[in-house]
Amino acid sequence: MACDLKGKVAVLTGAGGGIGRAVAEMLAQEKMNIVLLGGNNPEKLAQTEKIIRQYTDFLTIPGNLTDMDFLTQAVEKAVTRFGGIDVLINNAGVAQNTAFADISEAEYDRIMAINTKVPFFLCQRALPFLKKSASATIINIASVVAHAGYPMQSVYTASKHALLGFTKSLARECYRDNIRVHAICPGGVYTDMVKISRPDLTADGMIMPEEIAEIVRFFLTNRGNAVIDEILVHRVNKEPFI
């Protein structure tokens, strides 16, 4: 059954570029109210704001996503502004290109915090409000490395395995509350993150962020009896995992 997204409220992290910006533009075109959460690059976030303001109303709440008090306050601000939360999209993430032997404790903690801890506790804080929505949806942007491991990406891979496992557990726990919880595991999306983790790759043959945004649109507009818990996205005629 197709769902009308107009007027619904979406909270989105990592909207400064790449997949996040493409998703933000798609949500705006659907006339959703959007909360852009966090962001450590004001200039990039401002570019996203410029794109979406022509379509819809939005609220930007800048801050440190790894600060648990910030997450609590941000959710409260979102609900105060728009009256509730219907959709939560955890897209913010960081990658690495560091040999296992050279990973510091600080780098480990940073990657695990942003890629795993933040989605976990943001979901927890948004859950009471999502339960009040008739079309509540959580989408966690994971990665193909949630299914495989690659050199120089040990912590990133561990964080995405954890995110995927958490997503599957939460989906089971929230199903009776009519909250759909999904994971998208893209491989080979040409974003700044991929440029960091795989500097040997070029844009040739890569998945574009807009293609992932279309998958997000599918999740949000289709709430029939067939529930998809995960979509693994491969490149065509290329090495499936990167």
- What mean pLDDT do residues 90-110 have? 95
Strand pairing category for 58-61 and 180-186: unpaired
- Nearest-10 crossing angle of helices 42-52, 18-29: 20
Per residue in 218-227, pLDDT (tens digit) is 999 987 655 5
- 108, 150, 156, 190: which is the annotated catalytic residue? 156
DSSP state of 102: G
Nearest CA to 126 out of 78, 176, 61 is that of 78
Q: How confident is the model at residue 241 (pLDDT cuts 50, 70, 90)?
A: very low
Q: Is pLDDT at 103 greater than 50 in this prediction?
A: yes
pTM as predicted: 0.92
Q: How confident is the model at residue 231 (pLDDT cuts 50, 70, 90)?
A: confident
Per residue in 113-170, pLDDT (tens digit) is 999 999 999 999 999 999 999 999 999 999 999 998 889 999 999 999 999 999 999 9
Q: Is pLDDT at 214 greater than 60 in this prediction?
A: yes
Q: Is pLDDT at 190 greater than 90 in this prediction?
A: no
Q: What is the pLDDT of residue 204?
A: 67
Q: How confident is the model at residue 44 (pLDDT cuts 50, 70, 90)?
A: very high
Place of tokens 């008090």: 69
Question: Catalytic annotation on 156?
Answer: yes
* Residue with the larger pLDDT of the pair 97 and 187: 97
Q: Is pLDDT at 41 greater than 50 in this prediction?
A: yes
Question: Largest Cα–Cα distance in the chain?
Answer: 50
